[in-house]
Amino acid sequence: MNQLKLRVVITGANGQLGYELCRHAPAWVELVALSSAELDITDEQAVSSELTRIDPTLIINSAAFTAVDKAETEVEKAYAVNRDGVAFLGHYAAGAGIPMLHVSTDYVFPGNASEPYTEDDVTGPTGVYGASKLAGERALLAVCPRSLIMRISWVFGSHGSNFVKTMLRVAEARSELGVVSDQQGCPTSAASVAIALWALADAYRQQGDLQWGVYHYSGKPACSWYDFAQEIFAQAGKVGLLSTLPAVNAITTDQYPTPAQRPAWSVLSSEKLHALYGVQPADWRTELTQVLEELRAQCTHKKPA
């Protein structure tokens, strides 16, 4: 194929990942970024008419209902976005003869393993969010054979809500906090996911095809939320985002009950993506430095002259 330009629709363009996809879009992309206000993916008619009007050569879906605890009570909404909306996009893509890149989650797994999860491992979500995302994966693969699903984990960035920003906010209000130390996973910067997705889009542009199906991509090394918080505070102190660092206590999941049960083991193996497309996991500690520097720059810009 080797098309000079791909016209790429990004859905959910104002989320953490959507923002980074727009920011890192390569020069060979004609970008059509659609926020939830511009395209509600649960509106089947709007999906069909808007995409027909735009006539993209590739869809990247970063729209999702990501509120893990809220999903336990807003079950219908979680499935409407994470399963039905994904199916509507996939249905359009299949009919138009174009591929779709989609994003899913480590929370499709039960979390009782001790080795990194591969794409062949048996799923078994512990909550509604993970179950709705898994249903979306299945719905997409059923309607759109040329779809690629990238499962990612513990996403953070300078735009949107995430654990890094929560920790910084808490540290401004409190001198001591407890963070869960018995859940292991891989923090992953939204920017690194965007870059990995663009690498796949480029491979498609060059070759006219991809090895479709499910892939894992996450940052390295694996750690607990407690380790992640410690690193956030250490680095935030160094870059001058926090003047005093809070004391962090390791606590267990039982000591921090949440409406949705989280998997204890959320470590993904990115080996398949590396072997087939040469995409390397990014070191989340380096990515974190970048994000904290961006946040510091935002603070500086906000201060009156």
Q: What whole-number distance in Å separates Cα of residue 196 and Cα of residue 154? A: 16
Give whichever of 98 and 101 is closer to ligand NAP, judged by the CB atom.
101
CB of 293 to ligand NAP, least distance (A): 20
Give whichever of 62 and 192 is closer to ligand NAP, judged by the CB atom.
62
The residue with its CB nearest to ligand NAP is 15
Give whichever of 20 and 236 is closer to ligand NAP, judged by the CB atom.
20
Tokens of 20: 């980074």
Spatial neighbors of 270 by CB under 8 A, at least 6 apart, are 215, 216, 217, 218, 220, 279, 280, 281
Q: Which of 82, 88, 86 is nearest to 67 (CA)?
A: 82
- The binding site for ligand NAP (CB under 6 A) comprises 11-12, 14-18, 36, 39-42, 62-66, 81, 85, 103, 105-106, 133, 152-155, 160
CB of 170 to ligand NAP, least distance (A): 17
Give, in degrees to the nearest 5, the angle at Cα 266 between 260 and 267. 170
Q: Look up residue 124 and give its amino acid.
A: G
CB of 81 to ligand NAP, least distance (A): 5
Q: What whole-number distance in Å separates Cα of residue 57 and Cα of residue 156? A: 29
Do 143 and 94 touch, CB atoms closer than 8 A? yes
CB of 12 to ligand NAP, least distance (A): 3
Give whichever of 129 and 208 is closer to ligand NAP, judged by the CB atom.
129
Catalytic-labelled residue, pool 129, 204, 215, 217: 129
Concerning whether 129 is annotated as a catalytic residue, the answer is yes
Residues designated catalytic: 129
